[in-house]
Amino acid sequence: MTLADARERLVQADIIAPTGGGHGFPVWLPFGTLIAERLEEIYLEELAGATSFELIRMPALLDSAQYRAALAARHHEYRNMYELELDGREALARPDNLAPAAAAIVSRQLSVPLVAQGSLYRAVTGALRPLVLDRHVWRATQVVHRVDAGEIEAAMELHLHVCSRLLKRLGLPALWVDKPALARHSKRSVFAYLCPSEDEVVGGATTFELDDALVACLGLSGGVLDFGFTARLIACVAAVHGDRSGFLCTSSLAPNCVVVGARRPADRGLAHRLAERLGENMSRVAINDGAWHRTLRINRRRGTPVLVLVDGASASQLITRFDDESVPLPEDAASAVADALARHDAVLASRAESLLNAAIRLEQSVRLLSRGASAEGWFLNGTVRAVGDVDDRLKDEWDFFARRRRQR
């Protein structure tokens, strides 16, 4: 499924409203906001496991003149930003966090990564993609990390490692590409490319080492890394894992990885007790004791990994979303549910890897990018690299890809 097709899955799963607030302004529905927040939580968990950091709330409006001055070192087009007239002053609805993050680093003398999460407002030229190049990116995570010049390599490795852990927990294997300098912006960058389908490659996360002139213009010194991703990753998850029944995601991303339902009203007490028991061993276990057929329908299209149907009159059932299989719930329910979740994640990871490998083998999407036909305007003109704890099979595919490129 391509990223454009994924929009249908997101609507089907109650993640975004069928129509938004106007061109490029999607409306995220309650279930969608839970998923987007979960995405941010996973990232912060992984970052916290790797290093200490500061989470800062950035102002929603940036003074236009100050913003232009801070980024004067780079060529930039401001026409795609929203400039508000407020009581005689002009302010930009925050197009990115780089300038305010640099100001915060200077004023607070920060040497740890600074993390900003929230909305960004800007139009991106090129073909619009769902939740990707929207004018209002409701949830974006941007990390700005200033280090001494000699520590830049280690900092780059750290952020790539954290990103690879995030993508792994989303079940999204990536093709990591070292890319050359971007004039007046970055000395180098590393892109994590994702394959929503065999013939489509899209950027999933970016890490830039900023150009010295831009660093100086921002009032900083040393090396500066700028890492970011947006809720477009959720569209990638929908495209890679979604099926005819709807959305599908790993147990890490699911707001509820287990939902317990009751066959009849008389079974509700049993269902609550089982949910409590399961909750002692795992997080994000929910109870839904409404009509079972509705619970099943909603959770199937929202991609809840495991459902448990409590039936006091006969055998309770364990239902796995990835294969729609229903089996009697074993006596040791906690172990059975944990096993089912592990199988669910393993199957999703394996399917996604196969998709990425097929895309690399076909090279169709890569050729498209080489010709510059990508709607996003990204060019795969870098060097493929290994990041994080990739397994040997995936590494073999990358080596194969790199050899083919060298032969040309």
Partner 1 sequence: MSNNASQSELAAALREAGVGRLSDSLILPIADRGPRYAASCRVRFHGRYIRMWIRVADVPFDVLPATMRPLTPSRSGSFFTLGPGFTSTGDEHPAVLHLQIEGSQAEVDERAAAVRPLINELSEIRQVRLSTHPERWNRMCVAALAQG
Q: Which residues bind partner 1 (CB under 8 A)?
A: 17-23, 25-30, 32-34, 36, 57, 59-61, 79-87, 90, 93, 118-119, 121, 123, 136, 138-139
Minimum Å gap between C-beta 271 and partner 1 is 19
In the numeric block, which tokens belong to residue 155? Answer: 């900092």
Residue labelled with tokens 């099943």: 296
The CA distance from 343 to 303, in Å, is 15
Residue labelled with tokens 């399917």: 351
Nearer to partner 1, 138 or 247 (CB): 138
Nearer to partner 1, 51 or 80 (CB): 80
Minimum Å gap between C-beta 233 and partner 1 is 16
Minimum Å gap between C-beta 118 and partner 1 is 8
Nearer to partner 1, 86 or 183 (CB): 86
Minimum Å gap between C-beta 236 and partner 1 is 18
Minimum Å gap between C-beta 87 and partner 1 is 6
* Amino acid letter for position 235: A
Nearer to partner 1, 37 or 199 (CB): 37
The CA distance from 54 to 50, in Å, is 13
CA angle 40, 42, 48 (to 5 degrees): 100
| Helix or strand (DSSP H, E) at 244 | none
Nearer to partner 1, 28 or 208 (CB): 28
In the numeric block, which tokens belong to residue 368? Answer: 């498209």
Q: How many contiguous H segments (helices) and E segments (strands) does the chain have? A: 12, 16
Minimum Å gap between C-beta 97 and partner 1 is 13
Nearer to partner 1, 59 or 269 (CB): 59
Nearer to partner 1, 165 or 302 (CB): 302
Minimum Å gap between C-beta 217 and partner 1 is 24
> Residues near 388 by Cβ (< 8 Å), separated by ≥ 6?
160, 161, 164, 165, 168
The CA distance from 152 to 89, in Å, is 38
CA–CA distance from 251 to each of 96, 275, 305 (Å)?
31, 17, 6
Nearer to partner 1, 23 or 293 (CB): 23
Nearer to partner 1, 10 or 384 (CB): 10
The CA distance from 279 to 265, in Å, is 21
The CA distance from 226 to 16, in Å, is 28
Phi, psi (rounded to 5 degrees) for 51: -165, 170
Burial of 256 (0-12, 13-18, 19+ CB in 10 A): buried
Minimum Å gap between C-beta 119 and partner 1 is 7
Minimum Å gap between C-beta 83 and partner 1 is 4
In the numeric block, which tokens belong to residue 245? Answer: 């029944």
Residue 284: left (phi > 0), alpha (psi -120 to 50), or beta? left
Q: b/e for 198-230, b at 16 or more Cβ within 10 A? A: bbbbbbbbbbbbbbeebbebbebeebbbbbbbb
Nearer to partner 1, 113 or 255 (CB): 255
Minimum Å gap between C-beta 4 and partner 1 is 20
Residue 51 is classified by DSSP as -
Minimum Å gap between C-beta 305 and partner 1 is 21
Contact 385, 210 (CB under 8 A): no
Nearer to partner 1, 30 or 150 (CB): 30
Please compute Rg for the chain using Cα positions. 23
